[in-house]
Amino acid sequence: MAGYTAPTRSIRDSLVDAERRLANANVPTPRVDAELLLAFVMDRPRGRLFMSDPIADDDRIRFESLVARRASRIPLQHLIGEAPFRHLVLAVGPGVFVPRPETETVAEYAIRALKDLAGADERVVIDLCTGSGAIAIAIATEVPDTNVYAVEVDEVATSWAARNVATYADRISAARSVLTLHQADATTVHDGVLAHLRGCVDLIVTNPPYIPDKAVPRDPEVREHDPALALFGGPDGLDIVRAIAVSATALLRSGGLLVVEHSDEQGEGAGASGVPYVLREAGFLDVKDHKDLSGRDRITTARRV
């Protein structure tokens, strides 16, 4: 009809439609993802998406394109270019492992242990397999007077970490901390770039590759988009953990703490197939398994003799 103008859609209408499409694609959190994508398109906080407001045609078209890509199970974080982690917002994208909420609990254990170090003028910390730099930056900004070394073997992931370290450089400096990033193999750093720290490190934390080589990750976001180098850890998933245990033995001071993230099938109940067993075999004491926020065994801590 001549002169007919299609009615402008409201934010509510667009979100309802997007949520339905994402739910049909089995996206785990369709409403949240739809709101975050629209907030990204409209360049406003998620909490300021007023449902009765109209959405401009250009924004609607861009939003629908992003929803279609999310429905194909491209990670939300790749679409908006960032991932939250504790008090940080980290730049992420193809080629780097997207930090998950479970790893925030790993960082929490490390941070609490460092804050409990009485009388330490400067704490020395190593984050092995740093990926985006999430744990290292969280420690450097939350624990004052900390000397943090972040290690990542992959060149692309290291570039993402470097970008995030630069973003938070002022906050790291304000905490009187220092963060040094190395592109290196976490399993050999004790004889390489970090050899000068042998026997001097207070804490080592790591979220290593721990998926068995023949296992198929359940989520398409992980299976198709996270880098394989950050996922797979040998036939039983523990090859990198075993090698890191050797590095940690050389680098940690007596009484120094090792904090390791693992799958919920690699905890104390796994026996010889679990991380606690591996660390005891490597000579660590005070080995304890801990639960994540969902109550699953996901973190092992251990002390060097």
pLDDT in tens, 110-147: 999 999 886 667 899 999 999 999 999 999 999 999 99
Alpha-carbon distances of 209 from 40, 131, 229, 263, rounded to whole Å: 31, 11, 7, 10
- Is residue 85 assigned to a domain? no
Could you tell me the CATH number of the domain that includes residue 50? 1.10.8
Residues 157 and 267 in one domain: yes
Q: Of 57, 72, 87, which residue is a domain's last?
A: 72
Tens-place pLDDT, residues 86-114: 999 999 999 999 998 889 999 999 999 99
- pLDDT of 31-74, one tens digit each? 999 999 999 999 998 888 887 788 898 999 999 999 999 999 99
Report the pLDDT value the prediction gives residue 118, as an integer from 0 to 100.
60
Could you tell me if 260 and 161 lie in one domain? yes
Q: Count of domains in the chain?
A: 2
Which tens digit of pLDDT belongs to each residue from 195-205? 999 999 999 99
Residue 59 and residue 185: Cα distance in Å, rounded?
A: 44
Last residue of a domain, one of 33, 57, 72: 72
Q: What is the Cα–Cα distance from 78 to 67, expressed in whole angstroms?
A: 13
Judge if 67 and 111 occupy the same domain. Answer: no
Whether 77 is covered by a domain: the verdict is no
Can you list the positions of beta strands (E) in 139-200?
146-152, 178-183
In a domain, 263, yes or no: yes
Residues 6+ apart with CB under 8 A from 177: 139, 140, 141, 143, 144, 145, 146, 147, 148
Assess whether pLDDT exceeds 60 at residue 229: yes
Task: Identify whether residues 68 and 108 lie together within a single domain.
Answer: no
- Within-domain flag for 165: yes
Kindly report the CATH number assigned to the domain that includes residue 230.
Answer: 3.40.50.150
Q: How far is Cα of residue 31 from the mean position of the Cα atoms in its chain?
A: 23
* Residue 3 resides in a domain: no
181: containing domain: 96-303
pLDDT at 117: 81
Q: Find the mean pLDDT for residues 149-153.
A: 98
